[in-house]
A and B are shown apart, each in its own frame.
Chain A
């Protein structure tokens, strides 16, 4: 318990350093643009692939589990749409990003720590926590919602393709299903969750990397911890946010 509180205290202290006034806004702006590419644009591919197949599998599973004449066929499209919007685009995508982006952040910052690059920043009088972490936070907080929207669109598209190619549903029925009883608030709910998850992934991973002590072995461990802790927190906050936003 004491160890947990100590770590939590260090995490809060780190965040305080991260959100202090930037030394030079222009440099931070350039750094943020770089992070948009490193952490955001490079994640589009993996998110699109995962979402496409997720949508396809949801459609097929819904179809095989609703093989009953009393269920209208368009429910398959509706099921795919709601599953993608409510859960898969935000939570499953976040868990994947925890692996890709989280480990990347922890490894990058951890390596900078043990190769004394962070010390070099401190010596220059630069707030290293803010310089290294704030641009990553801004980039993920702004770009992950875009990834979520991409995941929703590609996932539903994947569902449509799989459904029609396998013959479990017609294109007309699927399109009717994804338009049926649409609740726009679900998109808002999904985007709110995404923002929270982006904050968790970036800050927890950065925390693990920033306080690395030792060498490459410890950087590897920090990277693993970043993914594990981020994933657990994402699942925990998924429950809390769902209760708060949908009840």
Chain B
């Protein structure tokens, strides 16, 4: 479980997040949704410690994460996996070297054991016969899947995904969403996903928070989202014509 309490974040005096409080539950896919520029990525990066926050608390179970030193954060960070918007695979390493990288850095396993784990992770995300390829030789969907394989190579307790299906076609996007949900349940991880894709919200969103202009405006489940009376949420959810028609029909 990850708890955020009264989080404030600003850049050069410009307030980006204000008084955010939320609890992300274990074994569930927790979604942060909102328009582009609403502060979703800043919130996610603040939670994982890539941004220092001005005020507030970030708890990983019973550890106050944001007050730890870089060295003390290492233990919790070794339990994190993160999928970045652009995949963030290391260009100079092959697919298998990318997945093996966390194992090289944090385990004392033999080469055979590491290779076995790499093959397992790649197979789990349906990447076959691509071990020796470099990231530049992969499609967008494959890059995302390799990044997921790297993120789960150390059996993380926490998985963070920043726009996991941005830039992907609808079918690949659904496959990535389903993969993340399956892995979350399989490893009982606390998963937090940033997205503005309503398909993802309706497919895998178990707990959802909506951010608008740096403020948490709404919190609920995918079942509540269609019947909410939060105006800014409705503007976001029913932004396209098809959604508006569906809403009118359901009324």
Q: Which residues does A use to contact B, with CB under 8 Å?
A: 23-24, 26-27, 111-112, 115-117, 119-120, 122-127
Contacts and interface: CB of A to CB of B under 8 A. Distances in A.
Interface size class of B (residues with CB under 8 A): 20 to 34
Nearest to A38: B92
Contacts of A123: 48, 50, 77, 80, 82, 160
Contacts, number: 54
Interface string B70-107: 10011101101010111011110000000001101110
Tell me the interface secondary structure of chain B in the complex.
mixed
A117 B70 contact: no
A125 B88 contact: no
A49 B37 CA distance: 52
Given A123-B48, A125-B77, A125-B78, A116 B104 contact: no
Interface of B: 45, 48-50, 70, 73-75, 77-78, 80, 82, 84-86, 88-91, 101-102, 104-106, 160
Contact of A125 (B74, B84, B91): B74
Contacts of A125: 73-75, 77-78, 106
A117 B84 CA distance: 9
Contacts of A127: 70
A122 B45 CA distance: 11
A27 B105 contact: yes
Contact of A116 (B75, B88, B102): B88
B91 A119 contact: no
Contacts of B102: 124
A144 to B, nearest CB: 22
Max chain B CB contacts within 10 Å: which of A23, A111, A117, A120?
A120
Contacts of B75: 125
A24 B84 contact: no
A120 B77 CA distance: 11
Contact of B84 (A27, A119, A126): A119
A124 B77 contact: yes
A120 B84 contact: yes
B78 A116 contact: no
Contacts of B45: 119
